[in-house]
Structure 1
Amino acid sequence: MGVTTEVIDGYKKCGSWKACKGDSKLKAAYERRSIEYNEEIVEELQRHEEIQQAPFDLIVLAGYMRLVKQPLLDAYPDKIINVHPSSLPVDLSLREKRRFIGEDAVYDAIKEGQTRTCSSVIMVDSLEDHGEILTQGPNLLVWNEFLYGTVSQREEWFREYADVHQTLQKVRSDFPALTTALKMISQGEIALGSKKRYYDEWRRVYVNGEPMPYSGLKVRLP
């Protein structure tokens, strides 16, 4: 039996959020289209639930690259996860409270001088790369030798190297973090607390009843 697929083009439905920056009218229109887009996703998911006569236990985002909106969040509370290519360190001076969020997370981390990166499996909420961290994959060291040279040479090479680094990170860190999280979820080994314990912002994650640190369960290579 094959896997059922449905294609709903988010860019076609909503347009680009980047094009809306600085324009309140364009932003409002984009937000309205985003809600309509999420409503359509919920309708499709519920239609498939009726066909299979069973609810979806989990939604895994893969290359989604947009914020999840209502009513999708309310329809599947604490049932949506995502993989983000950063350890998401906390910086309380930032409005978002986390560093290295967004689509340029790997580039930003390397540009700032981080010597290693890893990927995090996180719960999805209404904010950008904001949910609780369930697992983190193995670290991938930054190849500093590639970034030597003059200032102009480094600027030219940073983006190229960051893209290559992130591609390798998908294999070395994304995959172990996600497969570990999926296995634990399927076996009922992972749970979320009810109160915000970390920085008054995030709930505690439990694995087999044991509390995890802010960074969740660290997956290490055998």
Structure 2
Amino acid sequence: MSNGDGKIKLGVLGSGSGSNMQAILDAIQDGSLDAEIVLVLSDNPDAYILERAQKAGIPAEVIDCGGYKTRFPDESQAAVAEKLKAAGVEIVCLAGFMRLVKQPMLDVFPNRILNIHPSLLPAYPGLMAWKQAVDDGARESGCTVHYVDAGMDTGPIILQARVPVIPNDTADTLHARIQEQEHTLYPEAVRKVAASLES
């Protein structure tokens, strides 16, 4: 599977600071995740995730989305899938990637694209899930790592972590506590999926 060195090869797509990529990298460096991030791609040229990757010596590139603000055009997805394949990527991790992944990538990496979402799916899909939870008066939130399918946050769930919503929580305070859980959950989910691929 992983070129004889036992390490599963990961590609990471992100649009923002890349804290979840950092959590995966930390798990690799402390020996709790036997993997290697071989390529980081971002649709945002100013995203800090690119800088994090460069500091860690990981190849990092900007995705050309043809000038579209939110769409991820098929030709861009096909080009991304090609780059990931050429780098030997076995699992694709979306880490705060703000565009919907569709068929061109799903066809190349079936059941191998993971996403982390800041709610207990199927509750609160879409943007600002932590704010949705607070606005709704929810008593519990959390985070979910799931396989990516053609819908928005609808793929099969791999792992979840629960986070209570406490009195006086704001969207920001809840989000910060959810992120703490994300940083433990994502490496664990990658480990689980990697093990299932190796078996």
2:194 alignment partner, one of 170, 173, 186 = 186
Letter matched to residue 103 of structure 1: L
- Listed as ranges, the gaps of 5+ residues in structure 2 are 1-55
| CA distance in 2: counterparts of 1:121 and 1:66, whole angstroms | 17
| CA distance in 1: counterparts of 2:98 and 2:118, whole angstroms | 12
Q: Is the 8 A contact 1:14 1:37 kept in 2?
A: no
| CA distance in 2: counterparts of 1:118 and 1:141, whole angstroms | 7
Report the alpha carbon displacement of residue 83 of structure 1 after superposing the two structures with TM. 0.4
**1:167 corresponding residue in structure 2:** 176
Q: Aligned Cα RMSD in Å? A: 2.4
**1:136 corresponding residue in structure 2:** 160
1:47 paired to 2:70: no
**1:119 corresponding residue in structure 2:** 143
Structure number with bigger Rg: 1
| CA distance in 2: counterparts of 1:9 and 1:175, whole angstroms | 28
Letter matched to residue 165 of structure 2: V
**1:4 corresponding residue in structure 2:** 59
The percent of aligned pairs where both chains have the same amino acid is 30
The alignment of Structure 1 onto Structure 2 pairs a total of residues equal to 144
1:66 paired to 2:66: no
Decide whether aligned partners of structure 1 residues 35 and 189 sit closer, same or farther in structure 2, where only a CA change above 3 A counts: closer
2:69 alignment partner, one of 1, 5, 16 = 16
| CA distance in 1: counterparts of 2:84 and 2:59, whole angstroms | 11
| CA distance in 1: counterparts of 2:87 and 2:156, whole angstroms | 28
- Listed as ranges, the gaps of 5+ residues in structure 1 are 18-29, 50-55, 90-98, 147-160, 192-222
Larger RCO, structures 1/2 (Cα 8 Å, 6+ apart): 2
The one-character-per-residue Cα deviations of 1:134-177 (angstroms, maximum 9, x if unpaired) are: 1002x22223135xxxxxxxxxxxxxx21332123111x21222
| CA distance in 2: counterparts of 1:45 and 1:190, whole angstroms | 19
1:109 paired to 2:133: yes
Decide whether aligned partners of structure 1 residues 86 and 47 sit closer, same or farther in structure 2, where only a CA change above 3 A counts: same
1:145 paired to 2:154: no
Q: What SS does structure 2 have at the residue aligned with 1:86?
A: coil
| CA distance in 2: counterparts of 1:45 and 1:189, whole angstroms | 17
1:76 alignment partner, one of 85, 102, 109 = 109
| CA distance in 2: counterparts of 1:57 and 1:45, whole angstroms | 8
The one-character-per-residue Cα deviations of 1:169-216 (angstroms, maximum 9, x if unpaired) are: 111x2122212212222333899xxxxxxxxxxxxxxxxxxxxxxxxx
| CA distance in 1: counterparts of 2:138 and 2:186, whole angstroms | 23
